[in-house]
Amino acid sequence: MCTKHCFDDCQGFDPPHQSDTRTVYVANRFPQNGHYIPQRFADNRIISSKYTVWNFVPKNMFEQFRRIANFYFLIIFLVQLMIDTPTSPITSGLPLFFVITVTAIKQGYEDWLRHKADNEVNGAPVFVVRSGSLVQTRSKNIRVGDIVRVAKDETFPVDLVLLSSDRADGTCHITTASLDGETNLKTHFSVPETSVCQSVSQLEALQAVVECQQPEADLYRFVGRITVIQHGEEIVRPLGPENLLLRGARLKNTKEIFGVAVYTGMESKMALNYKCKSQKRSAVEKSMNTFLIIYLVILLFEAILSTILKYAWQAEEKWNEPFYNQKTEQERNSSPILKFISDFLAFLVLYNFIIPISLYVTVEMQKFLGSFFIGWDLDLYHEESDQKAQVNTSDLNEELGQVEYVFTDKTGTLTENEMHFRECSIKGTKYREVNGKLLPEGMTDDSPDGSVAHLIGDEVLFLKAVSLCHTVQISYDQPDLPLGASDPFSHVNGFSSNHMEYYASSPDEKALVEATKRIGVAFTGSRGETMEINTFGKLEKYKLLHLLEFDANRRRMSVILQTPSGGTVLFTKGAESAILPFATSGEIEKTRLHVDEFALKGLRTLVVACRHFSPEEYMDVDKRLTAARTALQQREEKLQEAFDFIERDLQLLGATAVEDKLQDKVQETIEALRLAGIKVWVLTGDKHETAVSVSLSCGHFHRTMNILELLQQRSDNECAEQLRRLARRIKEDHVIQHGLVVDGASLSLALREHEKLFMEVCKNCSAVLCCRMAPLQKAKVVRLLKTSPEKPITLAIGDGANDVSMIQEAHVGIGIMGKEGRQAVRNSDYAIARFKFLAKLLLVHGHFYYIRIATLVQYFFYKNVCFITPQFLYQFFCLFSQQTLYDSVYLTLYNICFTSLPILVYSLFEQLVHPHVLQSKPCLYRDIRKNSLLSFRTFLYWTVLGFCHAFIFFFGSYILMGEDTTLMGNGQMFGNWTFGTLVFTVMVITVTLKIALETHFWTWMHHFVTWGSIAFYFIFSLFYGGIIWPFLHTQDMYFVFVQLLSSGSAWFAIIIIVIICLSPDVFKKVLYRHLQPTSTQKSQQSLSAPPAQALSCMESLCCYQQGQSGCSRLASLLDQMTGHCKAGASNCHTSSRCNRSWSDTETFYSNDRSILTLSPIEGTRC
């Protein structure tokens, strides 16, 4: 569905501003006058699928015929229908139909899965207020203006303006983790006039109109107003982001809320942050299209050359119209130009199989079937959450082996969203928590009666400040008790901690409040304006006078409280840079030192301070705050001034250090990616200090790394100058590794005018961290790298809706099945349960997929060159009469039946080295980077090899059957169909054995399809040539194959030609492996444990089961010739070779439970 705002023809409430605003009538109570025409809004359906039932066929056909090979074969098929050609239209039409059908089924199935996921979201049950009652309906049926009820822990189905909640003050708490990655609890408000409407009947009687801006992607911006009509009087209240509940956010610690829908479906802010779904194409597919164009040029050259030579030959009268083939009168009078074109098209049809149409369907099948291995891999299964890896699109499997940049979210992707209190500093002394006791550094846990004995006035004041300076809410979950036995107020009298759950405005706050509770100062709840804490068993009540909310500019929050003794105190906490400059007393320098030590450990730090007010001072403070909060103009600036006036002259109490628990093996995964040559960028919406500390703790930034900063830039010139300074520093310190930290505002400036300079700095940095990023900014950064001159392959990984744009923009998008909803998973290409699984996904699966498909593509071109070149050579011997060398059935079945299965099985199961080796040696990933196996050089090698083999097939058979050679026992001659069948037989055997030579990992399936394909060809040919088929126009092949096989000379020719074709290839492989081995080949040789028993190059080339090496004699001979071992040495005997088993039964490989290891019976000796 289009997400643009197409309201040009709408006639709404306020015509002068209709393009900028929308008017929403609460409960859809439209004006009764006849002049009002309702605005048209989007419905509430979310659409991530690509096709519908109606557009599937035309859209899919259009996409498929954009492929060069498909379009080309369609043209050939139409040519065969229109003119008289040497082969039947079925030879092109049948494979084309097969390819198109299989591809359409595969893509239709994948889109059906997306439809299924969409239907789950769109069909979710919701409650709306209609006709005076609460009605259950589906999410997709919600309209703009509907009043929606959302209960605790439910996700908001639309963007809502909050009308009321079950709380008297009309507030509610939500978490936006799936939108911006922040797990903190946020408080949202309703206006006083609607907050009293807590029942359906009151809401039904509510008369209100919401006027707001048209939908936009910015999650943090909302401008509007609500007009409430009470007793005939209109009351207008402003609306801001604090009144808007975003789709995808979750209601927490509030029983229920009612809100009016303002933005629905693809116009919700969450959906507007999605990128339009575009068709992703892998680098391999682009290479395939390039190779196809080259082969198309070869085809056109052969067809034009054949046409010219035909007319050159026919210049002689005896060849122009021989006595056995007289022309008709119509042929003599036909136009020479039309005849030339007709002959050219006929040659085009004759040679058209040089373009391998079945390549596409084989690639599609390989991708589709191969993708199941990811889901079956037990190493990618997360037992705790019972989640296995998921493949949403199989078109990009091989792209996993080409990744150069990884862009990752932080919260929920690298971390678990679990904070743990570790240390603190109080009055210049460091403390740590041990078994619920707060102990000074260096002391041991030797006090039997808890922490009470150790704590004095300063420590207690610090703990009280931490347990009161927050916006934590408490939920009491009652245990299952007998009827009437429960006591809902049991927490007041010596509070019960067993069933108390904290909901915090930030994960740090929750960890800190839980820590103070364990130590003995427990926050037990708030009732209206009263906050209660239990200090070592003594209940204390504080009156909350003012809350000074946290904001990104101040980077601190404060509470003003009335103490039980009647005094007034301010408690404040925040980043050290936001507190220490305003502190006038306390151990400032010691605390600063401790904060730096905590940060070096990768801990998240907060500094705590207080200020005591006299009654006169508080009156002034109260007056300033009230005036600022009720101001109708410049409210934010006035509040900022008031906060700055209040939060000064602070008494420093101490600092806290909290650990954000990383996911398991994050550090090892990032290090493995770095060793594989992959650069990791962290893109997060979190604060700068938090992001840097997590980057340090997860190994993204090293301690020895020089951290460069591009932060808080306010102008283009300032940004450009800072970038130049950073570039100079990098050049001066070129030996040191650099890391770059950039925030969202500075990034916007850098991308606007100084993109090239910014990219230069980034590329010279080992790691980049972008903080305070909006969702679309993440996508812009990914696009910036994608479109850079080097065109690197990018991968984005995240777990929330705020990561969807980034996931869709990258070449490969991976969703984490985390705690932040399923939006990222639904819009990703692959989904895994934990970040650590990324290493195996890339280093093992990506490596295998790329090598398999690279060989598959080049092998297909090779075998089609082998197939068609003899057809071209044959024309020199038949006066370019367009006589076909092969029977039309062979033409049709060559790619579909005779040679299709061995390469398909190879492309599904091939393993150059064991998965464990690929994981333990990430540097092997570098061998396949930059599409190295599909370079022009390797493509040229396979093409030249195909032409050489084709010449040997044709001329080897021709020399054998030279003129007047009698090969039949009865003295009969072989005919042209027997000659063509001999060439075809040699070709089928050779190309099948060629892929066998390329295979390193043999299973029973490889043996079955390799030898089975050759056997099937012989059985089919005997059957096809042994029967007269009544529906065929000619019986050219009758008894031809039987005659061929009855000749001993033919058998001799087949064996000799196959050996001549494959021997040079074997020697070339052996020499290259011996003289210029790649890292992967060296790893293959080092698989055996004892060095004396390491595999020789030749033996590791062709390994077979039952301990037999197919090339051991040749290997021994070569080793002796090159001086690598002495004749007769024990280590040259195959019997002494150690068993190279790729099963998961050995202890060395016990950690690898991949389905790719197939079966423990694969005992391959080399």
Residues tagged active-site: 409
How many other C-beta atoms lie within 10 A of the C-beta of residue 1149? 18
The separation between the first and the last C-alpha atoms of the chain, rounded to the nearest angstrom, is 58
- How remote is the C-alpha of 132 from its chain's centroid? 46
Query: Do 669 and 397 touch, CB atoms closer than 8 A?
Result: no
**Distance (Å, whole) CA 1111 – CA 1104:** 10
**How open is the CA angle 93-97-101, to the nearest 5 degrees?**
175
Region of residue 772 (left: phi > 0; alpha: psi -120 to 50; beta: else): left
**Distance (Å, whole) CA 388 – CA 825:** 12
Query: Do 595 and 576 touch, CB atoms closer than 8 A?
Result: yes
Residues 6+ apart with CB under 8 A from 286: none
CA neighbor of 996 nearest in space, from 905, 1082, 1074: 905
Region of residue 555 (left: phi > 0; alpha: psi -120 to 50; beta: else): left
**Distance (Å, whole) CA 683 – CA 706:** 19
**Distance (Å, whole) CA 269 – CA 186:** 17
**Distance (Å, whole) CA 176 – CA 186:** 8
Query: Do 519 and 487 touch, CB atoms closer than 8 A?
Result: no
Query: Do 764 and 789 touch, CB atoms closer than 8 A?
Result: no
Judged on CB neighbours under 10 Å (0-12, 13-18, 19+), 1031 is exposed
Q: What are phi and psi of 254, to 5 degrees?
A: -135, 130
Query: Do 976 and 883 touch, CB atoms closer than 8 A?
Result: yes
Q: What are the tokens at 1050?
A: 């033919």
Residues 6+ apart with CB under 8 A from 60: 51, 104, 107, 108
Q: What is the DSSP letter of 222?
A: -
Is the four-CA dihedral 271, 272, 275, 276 of positive or negative sign?
positive
* Angle at which helices 358-370 and 900-909 cross, to 10°: 30
Radius of gyration for the chain, computed over Cα atoms and rounded to the nearest angstrom:
38
**Distance (Å, whole) CA 388 – CA 233:** 59
Position of tokens 């900028």?
Answer: 20
**How open is the CA angle 166-170-172, to the nearest 5 degrees?**
75
Max CA distance (Å), the chain: 128
Region of residue 581 (left: phi > 0; alpha: psi -120 to 50; beta: else): alpha
**Amino acid symbol at 123:** G
- How remote is the C-alpha of 423 from its chain's centroid? 37
- How remote is the C-alpha of 129 from its chain's centroid? 40
Q: What are the tokens at 549?
A: 């909310």
Could you tell me the CA-to-CA distances from 57 to 1, 368, 727 in Å, in that order?
18, 20, 53
Q: Going along 404-469, which residue ranges are E strands? A: 405-408, 415-426, 429-434, 437-440
Q: What are phi and psi of 117, to 5 degrees?
A: -65, -40
DSSP string computed for 466-489: HHHSS--EEEE------TT---TT
Judged on CB neighbours under 10 Å (0-12, 13-18, 19+), 765 is buried
